[in-house]
Amino acid sequence: MKKIFIILFLLFTNVSYAAVNEIGSGMTNNIKLEKDYKKYLKKSQDKKKNFIYYVSIGNTGNFAYGSSFSKEINNTSHEKAYKRCMKNAKKFTQNDCFLYAINDTVVWDTTKTAKLKPLDIDKFTLSQNYSDAEVERLIEEKLILSYKDSPQLNYIKEEDNKAGRSLVDRPDVNDDFQIHFIYLLDKNMKDEELDINGDIEKLTATTNDKLLEITAKNKKSNGEGQKFKYDFTKDGKLDVSFVRMNFSQKDVGHDSRGDGNTSQGFYDYVYNLGFNNPKKLYFILAGFKSLRQNEGGEGGPGYAIGYMKDCKPRSNFRCRKLIIHETFHSNGAVYGCGKSAKKNDAHMKTNSDIMGSNSDSYIIDAKNNSYYRHSIEGCPDLANSVYLTPTSKNSWDPYDVFCRANYKNFTHKKAFVFPRARNGRMCKIKKLSLIQ
C-alpha cells in the first residue's frame, strides 16, 4: 500500500514543478547506474529516510544522477534531487533529468524510447594530448564508455530497432583476441540491414575461406593456411554491432589534405560508445562512400574501416580483398623492414601482391621477404599475429607492439617506420591514450 500511495502521489498531486516529477523512459540496464542506485538506496534505509533518485541518460548510454534523503516525500525533496541531477547532467550528459525511483520502487519506464538530444560532435573529438589518467577519468565519468560496462545504448532512430540487431558487443565465448565487426551509418542513411540480413556474415565467412586458401598456397606455409579470429556469439553467429551516428558523414573532420573524411573521426565515435577493448580489432563496415577519391578503406592496429557503398557484401573479389588488405594493415603490415615494401608507405612496391596500394591480386608476399613468413631478423611477421589461427607459439599483439611500444624482440631499425612517419595515425590508443 505504501508503494502504491507513493506512485499515486507522484502522478496526481498538484505541484508547481511539473517537469521535476516527470518519469523517465528508455533502456537503462547500465551496470554502474544500478550499482549506484542500490548503494544510495541502502544508505537511505540505514538512515531510515525516504529516498528519491533522478537520472539523466546520455546519447551514448552514459548517465548522471541526483538524489535526496528526506523525512517526507514532497515537492521540496523532488526539486532537490532534480536540481542535483541537472547539475551533474550539465557536465556529463547534456540531457534532461527524469525520475528513476522512489525508495525501492523503480518507476522508470523501459518500454518507451528515451528522447535524447543530438550529440555534440566536439565532445567526440579526442586528441593525442590525453594522458592515461585523463582517459581513465573520462571513462569513470562516463564521458567515454568502457567496453567493460557493456552498456545498453539508445537507438538514434526508433525504426532502427529491429529483431536480431545489437547496439553493443555481445558477451564473448572466450577471452581470446578477436575481430569485431560494426555496421556504421550516418544519421540520414538508409538502413540496408546488412548486419541482420546475413550479408555481412556471408561476406566475412567467404573472406576467411579465401584467406585460408591463399595463405595455404604461400610457399613457406607447407600447405597449412590461416584464418582470422572473428568474434562470434554463443550460438555461433558472427557478432555484428549496429551504430548510427547522429550527424552526417560530411560533419566528420577532414584529413590533413582536406580531400576526404579522416577515418579517425569514425574511430573516435565508436571508441566513445565502448568499442575499445584492447584485445579486439574493430572493423567498421560503413554504409557510405569515402569522401576521398578512390579510398576503399583504411586500417591500423586497433581499428579498420571499409567503405561499402560501392562494395556491397555480395562476397565478390573487391569486398573480400578489401577486408583482408585492411585487416593486414591493422596488424601493422606492410612493415618498414620488408625488402619489397614501398619507402615511407605501408604497401608493397608491386600491385601483384594483395598489399599493393592498388592491388588486383590475392597473392601474399610471394617472395616471403616483407611481411608474411619471412626470415628478416627483428622484423614483425604477420603469420605470428594473435589475430590469426592457428596461432604461432611466437605470437605477438600488434596493438601492444605498435601502440603501447612493447617492442619485444623486434629490433630492426625500420620495423616501425610507417606508424612513426604517419605521426601515430595507425594507432588509436597508445598506453590507453588516444593519438591521431
Q: Which residue has the higher pLDDT, 5 or 250?
A: 250
pTM for the model: 0.71
Cell of 418: 610507417
The predicted-structure confidence for 213-254, as pLDDT tens digits, reads as follows 999 999 999 999 999 999 999 999 999 999 998 777 877 655
> Which residue, chain included where needed, has cell 522508470?
108
The whole-angstrom distance between residue 129's C-alpha and the CA centroid of its chain comes to 20
**Please, which residues have CB within 8 angstroms of residue 31's CB and are 6 or more apart in sequence?**
149, 150
Residue type, 385: S
C-alpha separations of 52 from 25, 70, 379, 390 in Å: 16, 9, 60, 55
Q: Sign (positive/negative) of CA torsion 61, 122, 257, 334?
A: negative
Cell of 436: 591521431
Quote the mean pLDDT of the chain: 81
Q: Before 334, cis peptide (omega within 30)?
A: yes
pLDDT band for position 422 (cuts 50, 70, 90): very low
Question: Which of the residue ranges 126-135, 290-299, 382-391, 400-409 has the most confident prediction, judged by mean pLDDT?
Answer: 382-391
Predicted pLDDT of residue 87:
93
Q: What percent of the chain has pLDDT over 90?
A: 48
Domain ranges of the chain: 2-106, 121-434
Predicted pLDDT of residue 290:
82
Predicted pLDDT of residue 300:
82
SS3 98: strand
378, 410 in Cβ contact below 8 A?
Answer: yes
- Which of these, 273, 317, 295, 58, lies nearest to 180 by C-alpha position? 273
The predicted-structure confidence for 353-378, as pLDDT tens digits, reads as follows 999 988 889 999 999 999 999 999 99
Checking if the pLDDT of 128 tops 50, the result is no
